[in-house]
Structure formats: C-alpha cells, structure tokens
Amino acid sequence: MQQQELLQLIDKYLNGQASAEEEQLLLNLFESFQPNQNQWDESMLGVKEQLENKMLNRLQQAVREQQKAKVRHFLTFRKVAAVAIILIFIGVGAYYYAHKQTLQAEDSRLAKHDAEPGNNKAILTLENGTKLVLDSAKIGTLARKGYISIQKTRDGQLQYTADKGDGQTENEPLSWNTISTPRGGQYQVILPDGTKVWLNAASSLKFPTAFAGNNRNVELMGEAYFEVAKSTSRPFTVKVGHMQVKVLGTHFNIMAYQDEPAIKTTLLEGAVQLHDGNSNSLLKPGQQGIVKGDNIQIAEVDVAQTIAWKNGFFEFKRASIYDIMKQISRWYDVEVVYEGKIPNDEFVGKIERNVKLSQVLHILQLNHVHFKVENKKITVTP
C-alpha cells in the first residue's frame, strides 16, 4: 500500500466512512509493525515522524468532535522500535458503557471494588493550629482575624473578605493559613485580594490572611490553577519548592507533585516570570515552563488539556499508563502497583472526572490495559 492510499484509508476510518473490511485492513497493517522491527520502508510510507504527526492531529480532532458522550473515545498509540508509531484502538463500544448500570452488569468484578470520584473536600488550618473540615463545615462565617472574615459560601468555596482596607491591622504580624486537599478531594479558595485558586487533589496552599506591603506571597504543594487579581503595584508570587512564579495579574496552572519528574507552569493569560536559582524565564500565553533540576525549558502546549482537571475532565495527550494511573490514584484515592512488563503505549482521550472508577478502568480495558482490583488497590498487568 502506498503512502497516499494509507492516508486516505486513515481519513475514511476516522470519519466513520470505512467499511468493515477497510477497518480490518488498517488494523492489520499497524499490527504488522512489531516492536523488534528496526526497518521502515520510507519509500512506501514516508518519514515516520511526519506520518505520526499527521495521524496524531487527526486523532485529536476526532476526540474533540465527540462532545456529547459522557465517556469519550479513548485512543491508543503503540511504541514501535525507538519511535512511537500509531496503533489505532478506537474505543468501539465505549458509548454502550457510558451509564453506570450497564457497566456494572457487564463487568461485576470492577464494580465489586468500585470507588466514587473525588469531590469538594479540604481542611483549613488556622494560624493557631485549629483545623476546620470544610466539607462538613456549615455555610457562613467560619472564623475572623482582625478585619478579615473567613466564610464558606453556598457553592462550597472558601472566601476571605476584608471588612476594612486590605484587612491588615496596623503593626500586627502576618497570620498564615493553609488549605489542604486530600487524595480524592478538590477545593476553591478566594484570597483576601480577590485572587481565585482551584486546588487539585493531594495539594496544599499556604497564604496570609491579609496581603500587607508591596508583595503578595503564597506557597504551593501539588497542583493549582490561579486567576490572580490584577495589581500593578503588588506582584503575586507563588513559591513552589526552590522555584518562584511571579505575576501581576494573570491566569496560570502549576503542577508540582513530588512524584512527578518536573514542575510545570502553564500560562493561559497575561505574563509569568519563573525564577529558579540563577535561571529566569518569561512565559507567554500558551507556553509551559518545565523546571527539572536547575534547568528551565519552555514549550508550546495545549492549555485546555493542562487545566482539564479544573473543568472536570481527565484529558490525555500521548500519556503513558503510568501518567494516567497517577491521576487516577490521586482522584479516586487508590493505590496503584504494577506487575510484569507493561506495554509502552501512549493514550489520547478525554473522560469526565465525575464517573466511578470502574467506568474509567473499563475504558482502559477496551484499549488493552489489564487490571486486578481489590479494595483500594489496583494492580496493572500486561
């Protein structure tokens, strides 16, 4: 099969116009590329990186067009030799498993050890060590500090409000609070200056009850999305380990889990300056700063994918099963272990985060990932 014929077949497949025989032909063709093959007939198929990019773009477009189903199509890329060549496993039948009852009847083993998705859960630790469980706290005023009132709103947010000025009492030292989400939790907090922060699971934010002077400083562990209130005279700084993110007013996401290999800051709007030791970098909208060791790398990224968690989705773009299971582990509060040699596949897909664990695992099973589930422990097997 020549390159043009192959691309035409791929187009027909992704557009739902391929016959059953053509679908099988395409799958058989990609199945024929085995991991131990080191040769590629470029005269017939063209440069493999170019072909991969073309197919990736088409697959991503196919994913985005599926916006009405609760559980999206999930696509798998299989690594062949040293370079990822796409092996298509469209989640055929995924729509049939969009509803809980159907899924549980189809796979009782997963349903037996099912887990609910995460929700709004957090603990607020005050300066004096008092801990307030926010998910069970009553709506209304939780505490007061000087001119600052701390309230839980009807929509489940934590809000700091200054009754006078910036809320800082004269000559009074800064008072720090910490909001922490557990595994399986998330929460939103509105800081005294009006800055909005969304915390992902297993994260914490330390901040003063009032921003005094010319700086607004907070400290983050885990992941959070920020919409910083604009103030040209008072920069907003997020301290993440040994790195600092400095802004004036902007929207950005920071992912800084300890089990991740790098700290990733993604800018959606405005400007962000990264400081790490002697390294400094300025981000533009659509860029991501990746801090690994003493090095800062800048990359163009899909910002919608980066903040999908904040909008209620898992969204993966060429993610490994290890990357996927880290997110699942945090959101469903489960332990994940691995047995045997796990295939080095990559995934593209989008799933709502409000579905049960069994539904997510089933979609992965449709794409040739295998699990053993017992209580709150998932074992991934070849």
Of 259, 287, 306, the last residue of a domain is: 306
According to the model, what pLDDT value does residue 245 have? 96
- Cα 203 to its chain centre, rounded Å, is 13
Domain containing 148 equals 119-306
Three-class DSSP labels, 79-102: EECCEEECCCCCCCCHHHHCCHHH
Which phi and psi angles does 174 have, rounded to 5°? -60, 140
**pLDDT score of 131:** 97
Residues 244 and 167 grouped into a single domain? yes
| Residues 247 and 129 occupy one common structural domain | yes
pLDDT, residue 110, reads 62
Final residue of a structural domain among 283, 306, 329: 306
pLDDT at 140: 96
What pLDDT score was predicted for residue 346?
A: 81
Instruction: Tell me what pLDDT residue 147 has.
Output: 82
**C-alpha to C-alpha distance for 131 and 145, rounded to whole angstroms:** 15
Q: What is the pLDDT of residue 14?
A: 64
Does residue 186 sit in the same domain as residue 212?
Answer: yes
pLDDT, position 136? 94
281 and 376 inside one domain? no
Q: How many of the other CB atoms lie within 10 Å of CB of 134?
A: 22
Do 196 and 135 lie in a common domain?
Answer: yes
Mark which of 269, 290, 306 sits at the end of a domain.
Answer: 306
Q: Are residues 14 and 58 in the same domain?
A: yes
φ, ψ dihedrals at 373, nearest 5°: -120, 130
CATH number at residue 355: 3.55.50.30
Q: Do 168 and 210 touch, CB atoms closer than 8 A?
A: yes
Domain co-membership, 219 together with 283 = yes
Contact 60, 72 (CB under 8 A): no
Predicted confidence pLDDT, tens digits, the chain (382 residues): 666 777 787 777 667 787 878 866 766 665 555 444 444 555 555 545 555 555 556 555 554 554 444 455 566 655 433 233 333 333 323 333 333 444 444 456 666 778 999 999 999 999 999 999 999 999 999 998 888 899 999 999 999 998 765 555 555 678 899 999 999 999 999 999 999 999 999 999 999 998 888 889 999 999 999 999 998 889 999 999 989 999 988 999 999 999 999 999 999 999 999 998 888 999 999 999 999 988 899 999 999 999 999 999 998 888 899 999 999 999 999 999 999 998 888 887 888 899 899 888 888 887 778 999 998 999 999 8
Q: What is the predicted pLDDT for the residue at 344?
A: 83
Q: Which two tokens stand for residue 345?
A: 């596949």
User: Is residue 274 domain-shared with residue 141, that is, in the same domain?
Assistant: yes
Per the DSSP assignment, residues forming a β-bridge with 34 are none
| Closest CA relative to residue 75, chosen from 374, 348, 356 | 348
- Residue 14 CA: distances (Å) to CA of 57, 75, 92: 11, 11, 12
* One domain, residues 142 and 264: yes
Helix/strand/coil for 34: coil
Q: Are residues 102 and 45 part of one domain?
A: yes
Q: Are strands 140-145 and 148-152 parallel, antiparallel or unpaired?
A: antiparallel
Q: How many domains does the chain have?
A: 2
Counting Cα atoms < 13 Å in the Cβ hemisphere of 63 gives: 27
Same domain (yes/no): 66, 166: no
Distance CA 267, CA 188 (A): 19
| pTM for the predicted model, two decimal places | 0.79
CATH code of residue 186: 2.60.120.1440
